Amino acid sequence: MTPSGAVLRRVPETDIMVHPFAVDGSVFGWASGVEETARILDTLVDLGGNLISTADHYAGGRSEIMIGSWLAKASNRAKAVILTKIGRHPDAQGLSTRNVISATERSLQRLNTDHLDFLTLDGVDASTPIDETLEAVDLLKRAGKVRWLAVSGYPASSIEQIDELASSAVYPRIRLVSTAYNLMHRGEFEGDLARVSGTLGIGVVARLPLASGFLSGDFRSKSDEPSSPLFEDALKHVGKHGTKVLGALQEVAEAHGCSIGQVALAWVLSKPGIAAAGIRVKSADQLIALAAPGELVLSRHDVAALDRASAR
């Protein structure tokens, strides 16, 4: 158990244990400044959390720089599991050998660390043979700069292809998949991606578990103004279906004496294969409100009710 009352989850076939509540670094350098970023990360650790997800292109690299500033403090690196995505930074677009190695080296510099716990390939690069990409990751892994491989935005068929190549050529295997998953956006994960990740023993980090803030109840009409462009996608969920989902969340929240955001997170974390949910928060107070009460365990009845309300 952690200080927040949550049970750590092992990423399959690794030695890494992660807290179910992770921090999504896309807000750092964009909606959260240097001081608030440090407070959010300090709070994450205080709550027993450890997984920090970012990307080399977030805020033009400022997200990694801010995380790196925090990591540079004594003992912080040992408390964190760092996942960063490469492949979309303007200076290293794509997943060629050159770009994979240069992007990783630059991420390591910005993050003030000598290794990444998970190097994430951010989207399929159709112009580069996948074995070339895997060879580059293998070189980084052998050098001790990357521990494990992850992917984001990959269809199930590509994940299966990579696993087959890894098995035959002794390349690094995918150990984590990052994918959008929430009550308003179920299709990307459920189905083939869930099946393949389960069959291959790959952990899953759910991005946007609160649907850009919609499932926190912050947006009830199209006139509600998001505080940052990062949360504008919440407005697309406003409507009849969104109202139905919020109503179901409210009923479960009242039964458990908690917020609807906590219920939305609990629903994601109740699903098989989910290792963690990456929470996008702008302040430490928001993280405390969502994660400090601990991991809420929903009943089968609760999960079924939310499944029905969110089904399309």
Q: Which residue has the tokens 């895997």?
A: 134
Do the Cβ atoms of 11 and 176 come closer than 8 Å?
A: yes
How many C-beta neighbours within 10 Å does residue 246 have?
24
pLDDT computed for residue 224 by the predictor: 64
| All residues at 6 or more sequence positions from 236 whose CB lies less than 8 Å from its CB, including other chains | none
Q: Are 181 and 205 in contact (CB under 8 A)?
A: no
Q: Domains of the chain, with CATH numbers?
A: 9-310 (3.20.20.100)
- Burial group, residue 173, by CB count within 10 angstroms (0-12, 13-18, 19+): middle
Q: What is the mean pLDDT of residues 134-142?
A: 98
pLDDT digits (tens, 9 = 90+) for 238-265: 999 999 999 999 999 999 999 999 999 9
pTM of the model: 0.95
pLDDT of residue 4 exceeding 80, the answer is: no
pLDDT digits (tens, 9 = 90+) for 11-20: 999 999 999 9
Share above pLDDT 70 across residues of the chain, in percent, rounded to a whole number: 96
d(CA 295, CA 311): 24
Would you say 91 and 99 are in contact if contact means Cβ atoms under 8 Å apart? Answer: no
Task: Please name which of 176, 178, 174, 234 lies closest in space to residue 206, comparing C-alpha atoms.
Answer: 178
pLDDT band, residue 143 (cuts 50/70/90): very high
**Residue whose C-alpha is closest to residue 245's, from 280, 215, 287:** 215
Q: Are the beta carbons of 43 and 284 closer than 8 angstroms?
A: yes
**pLDDT confidence of residue 5:** 73
pLDDT of 227 > 80? The answer is no
Q: What is the mean pLDDT of the chain?
A: 94
User: pLDDT tens digit string along 158-211?
Assistant: 999 999 999 998 999 999 999 999 999 999 999 999 999 999 999 999 999 999
Q: For 189, list phi and psi in degrees, rounded to 5.
A: -95, -50
For residue 156, is pLDDT > 80?
Answer: yes
- Are the C-beta atoms of 44 and 76 separated by less than 8 Å? no
β-pair type (116-122, 81-86) = parallel
Q: For the chain, list the strands marked E by DSSP.
A: 9-10, 17-18, 21-24, 51-55, 81-86, 88-89, 92-93, 116-122, 146-152, 174-180, 203-207, 274-279
Select the more confidently predicted residue: 309 or 235: 309
